[in-house]
Homo-oligomer: A and B are copies of this chain.
Amino acid sequence: MNNSNVISVPILFNLEEAKNWIETKREPFILKNFDYGPCLKKWNVDYLSQKAENRLVKIHVSTASEMDFINKNFIYRTLPFAELIKRASKENQTDFFISENEKYYLRSLGTDDRKDIANIKAEFPEIADDICFPPLFDKEKFFSSVFRITSSNLRLWTHYDIMDNILIQVSGRKRIILFPPSDIEYLYMKGDKSLVLEVDNPDLEKYPLFTKASRYECELNPGDGIFIPSLWLHNVITLDFSIGVNVFWKHLDDEFYEKKDIYGNKDLLNAQKAFLFTDKSLKELNSMPLYYKEFYTKRIIEALKDNLNK
């Protein structure tokens, strides 16, 4: 890896500075010294297991340590919350779905997981008062709050979210690698995900431009919260068994977002329409013989580049 482009995620200690940073810079930062509440002391395996013992949760189960959404190298299963916590906190399993070294990843869902947006204060009322979200956004902009409970040494594919969010690390350590949206042309996207899975050891024959992307890195420790701006690509590796809470909010007015998007990963409505028109444009381009298709595809690329400079 060429590390010449690696930038350390800056650390902020002050809420006002953080709010200003979100509005003006739209770059990631770690917020330290914020009082996230008693969760930091209370939330361990025993405590959480007792609080919501039999609540069923949908989880990802993977035998690979690099989860790959595009080629789906994991399965979805359901476990009682206490059992998930117990298993995720251990390296080797006596009860398992695939193999004894399988790994677990919980991204909590809404009460009705097909209709409701995740809100841990509604789904886990027993522990609602244990955690306090930093007031980085107006209350009416709140979108969702999500439990992220993960086995150690599991890597989540590089993707972007459409909402601004803060990932609060309650227990364990995570390593996080981020790429700015302005470097999207080096990241080999497929939808909201990057095709480059092994970001520390990329296949440069397949992805020769990857090292051109600016690369932000940090280690997230208990009591840290990282601000991940909308559209910033991020790759998350759990160094330890991790308990975190991810709080999402809307950067823009409601009208820009798809109403039925319960995960907060659907592209902005205007972008979805732009993609649809692009598909129609591509269909016309591809209806011409190659000589003309190439020429007109290039002309349209130029028109889009001109639009960037306007």
The oligomer's copy count stands at: 2
With a CB–CB cut-off of 8 A, which chain B residues contact A298?
A: 181-182, 184-185, 308
CA distance A307 to B287 in the complex (A): 12
Given A295-B231, A307-B285, is A302 in contact with B268 using a C-beta cutoff of 8 Å? no
Against B, the Cβ 8 Å flags (1 = close, 0 = not) of A257-272 are 0000000000110110
Are B185 and A301 touching (Cβ within 8 A)? yes
With a CB–CB cut-off of 8 A, which chain B residues contact A281?
A: 273-275, 277-278, 281
CB distance from A289 to the nearest CB of B (A): 7
A206 within 8 A of B: no
With a CB–CB cut-off of 8 A, which chain B residues contact A122?
A: none
A282 within 8 A of B: yes
Q: For window 283-310 of chain A, which residues contact chain B by CB distance below 8 Å?
A: 284-289, 291-292, 294-305, 307-308
Partner of A297, one of B286, B299, B307: B307
With a CB–CB cut-off of 8 A, which chain B residues contact A189?
A: 299, 302
A26 within 8 A of B: yes
CA distance A105 to B166 in the complex (A): 67
Are A295 and B184 touching (Cβ within 8 A)? yes
Are A308 and B297 touching (Cβ within 8 A)? yes
Partner of A270, one of B184, B278, B288, B301: B288
With a CB–CB cut-off of 8 A, which chain B residues contact A289?
A: 252
Against B, the Cβ 8 Å flags (1 = close, 0 = not) of A168-190 are 00000000000001101100010
Given A181-B295, A291-B231, A300-B304, is A271 in contact with B252 using a C-beta cutoff of 8 Å? no
With a CB–CB cut-off of 8 A, which chain B residues contact A275?
A: 281, 296, 299-300, 303
Given A231-B292, A297-B307, is A302 in contact with B185 using a C-beta cutoff of 8 Å? yes
CB distance from A277 to the nearest CB of B (A): 4
In the complex, the 3 A-B pairs of residues with the closest C-beta atoms, listed nearest first: A277-B281, A274-B284, A181-B295
Interface residues of A (CB under 8 A from B): 26, 181-182, 184-185, 189, 231, 252, 256, 267-268, 270-271, 273-275, 277-278, 280-282, 284-289, 291-292, 294-305, 307-308
Q: Can you list 14 A-B contacts with CB-CB less than 8 angstroms, sorted by A residue number?
A: A181-B298, A185-B301, A231-B291, A256-B288, A267-B296, A268-B288, A270-B287, A274-B284, A277-B277, A277-B284, A278-B300, A281-B281, A297-B304, A301-B301
